[in-house]
Amino acid sequence: MSKVEVRKRVTIVEEIFHEGGPVAANPLCRAAALAVIRNPFAGKYVEEIAGFMDDLKPLGLEMAKSLVAALGGDAKRIEGYGKGAIVGAAGELEHGALWHVPGGYGMRETLGNAKAIVASTKKVGGPGTRLDVPVTHINASYVRSHFDAMEVGIVDAPRADELLLALVMTTGPRVHARVGGLRASEIKGEDGLR
Amino acid sequence: MKAKIRKLITFVEETRTEMNQTIDPPTRRAAAAAVIENPFAGRYVEDLTELMEIGEELGALLTERAVAALGVAGPAAESYGKAAAVGEDGELEHAAAVLHPKLGTPVRKVLGKGAALIPSSKKRGGLGVPLDIPLGHKDAAFVRSHFDGMEIRVGDAPRTNEILVAIAVTDSGRPLPRVGGLMKDQIKGEDGLR
Mark which residues 49-68 of A lie under 8 Å from B by CB. Answer: 49-50, 53
* ipTM for the whole complex: 0.78
Q: Does any domain span residue A192?
A: no
Please report, for the domain that includes residue B132, its CATH number: 3.30.1330.110
B119 touches chain A (CB under 8 A): yes
Q: Over chain B, what is the mean pLDDT?
A: 96
Residue A51 lies in a domain: yes
Q: pTM (2 decimals)?
A: 0.88
> A146-193: per-residue pLDDT in tens?
999 999 999 999 999 999 999 999 999 999 999 999 999 999 989 999
Q: CB-CB: which of B92, B130, B177 is closest to A174?
A: B92
Report residue B66: phi and psi, to 5°.
Answer: -65, -45
Residue A59 DSSP code: H
Find the domain containing A139 and state its range. Answer: 6-186
Which residues of chain B have a CB within 8 Å of the CB of A94? 18, 174-179
CA-to-CA distance for B83 and B125, rounded, in angstroms? 13
DSSP-assigned letter for residue B44: -
Domain holding B114, by residue range, is 5-186
Model confidence pLDDT, tens digit, residues A81-92: 999 999 999 999
Nearest by CB: B48 against A131, A135, A178: A178
Asked if A156 contacts A127 with a C-beta cutoff of 8 angstroms, the reply is yes
Number of domains in chain B: 1
Query: Do A160 and A125 touch, CB atoms closer than 8 A?
Result: no
How many whole angstroms separate alpha carbon A38 and alpha carbon A53?
A: 14
- Contacts with A141 from chain B: Cβ below 8 Å: 117, 141
**Under a CB-based contact definition with an 8 Å cutoff, are residues A129 and A179 in contact?**
no
What is the rounded CA–CA span in Å between residue A55 and residue A74? 27
Give mean pLDDT, residues B42-53: 97
Mind listing the pLDDT tens digit for each residue in A23-52?
Answer: 999 999 999 999 999 999 999 999 999 999
For chain A, give the mean pLDDT. Answer: 96
Domain count, chain A: 1
Q: Does the pLDDT of residue A1 top 80, yes or no?
A: no
pLDDT, one tens digit per residue, over A104-122 is: 999 999 999 899 999 999 9
Residue A2: pLDDT over 70: no
Chain A residue with CA closest to B100: the answer is: A144
**From A94, A133, A136, residue closest to B174, measured CB to CB:** A94
Q: What tens digit of pLDDT does each residue of B61-116 get?
A: 999 999 999 999 999 999 999 999 999 999 999 999 999 999 999 999 999 999 99
The answer to whether residue A1 is domain-embedded is no
Q: How far apart are CA A127 and CA B191, in angstroms?
A: 39
- Quote the pLDDT of residue A3: 83
**What does the pLDDT read at residue B1?**
85
